[in-house]
Every structure is written in C-alpha cells, then in structure tokens.
Amino acid sequence: MSATPHSSDTRTAGTLGPEPLPLSLLVNGEVRTALADPATTLVEFLRDSLGLTGTKIGCDRGACSACTVWIDGEVAASCMTLAFDVRDQSITTIEGLSHEGKLHPVQRAFIEHDALQCGFCTPGMVMSCAHLVDKNPRCTLEDVKAAISGHLCRCGAYPNIFKATLAAAAAVDQDRSA
Ligand code: FES
Ligand code: FES
C-alpha cells in the first residue's frame, strides 16, 4: 500500500504555502512569532524576521559555518535548515549564549585572547567552540581543530581561536572540579 501524505501533515515545508504563514519558534528560551514564507531558512528568519543579526550569512550554502547555531543543543548550519522544520525544537543563537548577564567562558576567552579580527566568522566559531567546551572541558587542541574544521576564517585568526578555546575549557574544567 502506498503512503499518501495526509492533508494535515505540516511537518515539511513542501506542504505549506506558497503564501507567508505565521511561524512560532523557541529561540533563546522565548517563543518568537513572525510571518514567514515556507522556503525561509532559519538564518533568514532569525535575522530578517526576529532581528537577531548576530548569526551571520557567509556562503549561504553550508560551506563556511558562519551561520552556526544550536538546534536542541547541537550545532547546525542555519542556512541549510528550513525555519518551518524546527518548529518543535529549541534554537540557541549567539545572543542567547550569555547567562544572567555573564558572557559564556568562550566569549570571554575570545576577547581576552584577541581571537578575532573582522569578527564575521566569530559568532559561528563561538557557537561551535562553546558547544565543545560545554561537552568536554578537557578537550585537546585536536578536539578544537575538529570542532571548527568546517569554519572559514578569512582573517586567519585560528591560532588565537585555538588558544582562547583551550583557555576557556581549562577555566570551565577548574570550575567544575572546584
Ligand atoms: S552561511 Fe551557512 S554555512 Fe556558510
Ligand atoms: S575574524 Fe575575520 S573572518 Fe574570522
């Protein structure tokens, strides 16, 4: 028996539209609602509809990682994700990484170690490095390199990004052991 798509199945963007529809997403702990075309990518929705411009668009085709966010706590390229496909998930952007007014240790370490030049790759880099440090504060240089292997930094800030991430990891590890 062949599977017939049910008319009420709205889980894939292909069954929606073409007119804009209201879309509610859980972003940085808040439900945010705006009209969106079904073909809208997550990064477009974040930036253009919600005004969360911290997440950058570099290549817009999954090749640079500038648009990295967390979806249900895992890193993801928001230019390769349809906004309507993450309605049941929790999105964290660079704007949501600080906690109670305190920067994430990786954000602090990027400042302290001068781990950026133009800053365009930085939000995406920070999201991937913070994900690594939160999961494994005993990470090695090889782990950091692997975590940001998909990220392009045209300014070549990699050495200080490595230093900053390892310093943040050491600080988090010390805090957790205290
Ligand atoms: S903008 Fe998404 S990977 Fe480059
Ligand atoms: S700091 Fe300029 S692209 Fe990375």
The DSSP line for 85-121 is GGTTSEEE-GGG-SBTTB--HHHHHHHHTT--SS-SS
Angstrom distance (rounded) from CA 23 to CA 84: 7
Nearest CA to ligand 1 atom 3: 62
Instruction: Give the bridge partners for 177, in sequence order.
Output: none
CA 114–ligand 1 middle distance (angstroms): 23
Cβ of 58 below 6 Å from ligand 1: yes
Superfamily for the 17-96 domain: Beta-grasp domain (3.10.20.30)
Per-residue pLDDT of the chain (178 residues; tens, 9 = 90+): 333 333 334 445 457 878 999 999 999 999 999 999 999 999 999 999 999 999 999 999 999 999 999 999 999 999 999 999 999 999 999 999 999 999 999 999 999 999 999 999 999 999 999 999 999 999 999 999 999 999 999 999 999 999 999 999 999 999 999 8
Where exactly are the structural domains of the chain?
17-96, 105-177
Identical fold, 17-96 and 105-177: no
Q: Which fold has domain 105-177?
A: DNA polymerase; domain 1 (1.10.150)
